[in-house]
Homo-oligomer: A and B are copies of this chain.
Amino acid sequence: MKIGELARATATKVETVRFYERAGLLPPPDRTDANYRSYGPEHLQRLSFIRRSRDLGFSLDAVRDLLALADDRGKPCDAVDAIASGHLAEVERKIADLTAMRGELRRVIGSCRHNTVADCKIIETLGPRRDA
């Protein structure tokens, strides 16, 4: 299959597919006479893996590690678990950060009385020591 088909099949942009190749995540495929990339089912499978991992928020580095592990079928699974668990912890930290932000933002926005900027509570909150 050509790059456009592969891209469509995995909901990826063509440029991103080429980017993954340059980044060493997707092996360089054969080329046609016209120098077009020609992918096989193994590429489709590998790109699907990458996309799914990315959807779960894994970094490209993590995806690289996961792919290497996936290719090493005899290895114990704990390394995979470690990567995933580490990532989960990070996601949880981000959720906590954003939840705190949300609380602050709601508080700040809730205090807006829709007057002028001069006595805007939002601006006041942002600039803590504004006295003019």
Contact = CB atoms under 8 A, between A and B. Distances in A.
A125 B84 CA distance: 12
Contacts of A106: 88
Task: Count identical subunits in the complex.
Answer: 2
A23 interface: no
Contact of A101 (B91, B104, B108, B114): B91
Nearest to A77: B120
Chain A interface secondary structure, helix, strand, loop or mixed? helix
Nearest to A72: B117
A117 B69 contact: yes
A70 B127 contact: yes
A67 to B, nearest CB: 9
Given A75-B116, A84-B105, 8 more contacts: A52-B127, A56-B101, A73-B116, A77-B116, A80-B123, A81-B112, A85-B109, A91-B105
